[in-house]
Chain A
Amino acid sequence: MSESSRPKAPAFVKVVLISVILFLYIPLLLMVTKAFRLEGEASGWTLQWFQDLFQDQDLLQSLKTSLVVGIQSSFFATILGTTAAIALHHGKFRGRQTLQFLSVTSLVLPEIVFALALLIWFYIFKIPLGLSTVIISHITFSTAYVILTLSGRLSIMDHSFEEAGADLGASNLQVLFKITLPLLLPSIFSAFLLSFLISFDDFVITFFVNGVGTDTLPIKLYTSMKMGLTPKLNALATLMWASTLTLICALFRTQDFWKTIKR
């Protein structure tokens, strides 16, 4: 549709659109302001709640857990997803259908079923719940997002370099490591960021498969929230939101992300 020919939206449509956006954002903005406010007698602006956060050893421990889980799981998910996407791009092989089916299944499966299925699985094979089970689960749900991101890139990429390389006698491994992977590198990076983001934000699956002492930040927020909302928690939630937003901005800067979404 060309720009000039767009008709004007009626007033009530605009009102609904704006109020929907307001209802999405007012709670978040309220949370951010409250994180910087002193209430009661001495009302004013403060950074005290943030200082409290960084003195809380428990919280720092769960931040560390979140980072360890996020980085390790995205690392492995990126490897698994990249190899799978390249294989899927190169035509037919036995197991292709299964691979596609299972990756789509992991995307559409209700989170709670996903989590409980893994929980029973770990129980049957007597794998003790802890950091390793959390990382395994995160790898499992991130891989499909990596496959999606890279398949999008592979389908619009110019493959003549690879063909030229193969014609000039490069082995398959050489083509892969010297041509395909370097060309894919920006997308691999954004896939890594995306899976880190998803891992960093995950609650439901982590909640079920984690053991004692391996709380990630969302779990920590959840358990403290059950006790009641405090200014310190406002600061924690604000900080988590800010880090997510930073990651998203980093993702948007890598253009491939938009292309994947638009597909």
Chain B
Amino acid sequence: MVQQEAEMLDKREKIIGEDKILFEHIWKTGKGFYVTVSILGALVLLGLYAYVTQYRNGLTVTGLSRQIFWGVYITNFVFFIGISHAGTFISAVLRVLKAEWRRPISRASELTTVFILLFGVGSVLIDLGRPDRMLYAIRYAHFRSPLLWDVCSITMYLTVSSISLYLALIPDIALLRDLGGKREWFYRILSLGWTGTESQHRRLERAINFMSILVIPVMITVHTVVSFVFAMTIQPLWHSAIFGPYFVVGAIFSGVASVIVVMAVLRKAYHLENYIKPVHFNNIGIFLMAMTLLWFYFTFAEYITIVYGNEPVHMAIFWSKLTGKFAPLFWLHFILCFVVPLPILAVRRFRTIRRIVVASISIILGMWLERFVIIVPTLTKQRMAVEGAFYMPTWVEWSILAGCISLFMLLYTLFTKVFPIVPIWEIREGREKAVRMVSERIESYLPETDVAPQ
């Protein structure tokens, strides 16, 4: 009996190895967890209450009007879909590029993608006047409508990124299964009989690589067609050919910033300092700086062509942003997206974890505002000056936004209660194989020395 128990303990020790901390957030539930869950739960309930109010009374409870008929919800749609891009971008692109430092952060970023994408879709459904008829978009699908392009590409993206997330989870689920315990049956089903043999590893590797390559074009398509919702209309300042790439850049920009914040929170809350290290923040920080500049380049290109063209219809909207009633929001978004983050990210001395997180939060807020100042000002004057073009979001819209973000965080928190957030098998693979593989790879770049000169 005693011997058996000792054997069990020994087996557990072996499975856990030196990565005890990566399992701990599943087993240990502290006071912090309950506090977080109750706060988030309360905000989710508030959002739910706001939606019920809207469902009963119609969209009249929002600040939207005949003139400005799209507002916070459509901003949220573009914003959330944007955030979702970074996760897969980071994990898939870095995998394809064989960047070894991706290992500890790949799952955290993929999970951000999958969960936030749900809220992107949800925001459009919340915006519908007749949500009870939402499936009409499939039943009577009209493929000339850019909204249908969105339906197709977002569905594809959600599928592909969920599969990627799951594939990379399988070996870790098998670890949890082998540890036994109350939830063993659950992990047993999900692990799909993974035993970690050489051939299983080979197949998994091949599947993950395939999905990583597949997800990159899908991701680009998704945000391109999201921008097409606006660019395909002939409304002033929406009808722009660079909206596709502009939105993709903005998406990766805001998404990478979100992943940085997620990383920082996880690192602190689950004591992952040893895994998510300053070097990770530094590397992503440099990438984020490149995105800041790229975003500025696109914004500049977008507006300079408008100004120089000087068409009255466009200029009316343009001036309402630069000096008119949207000026405070416009300049705030510019400061948050460019003026604040750029120096922090560009100067090596400033690139500490804390400052990078500050820059990221600034970018996230700035990009929400960016979506807002793209969508709303155009509607105030659609080719004809009108009365009553005024928009002030109501408590319903703010509560639903708060509810969406809280539910995202809640799902994320609950996920970490079931699965490890750092891919343990990938860390181990890095430890056991990658060092050798990378040095072999680097050697292959070098000129051959032992070949006799001819």
A and B from one assembly? no
Please list the residues of chain A having a beta carbon within 8 angstroms of any beta carbon in chain B.
Answer: none
Please list the residues of chain B having a beta carbon within 8 angstroms of any beta carbon in chain A.
Answer: none
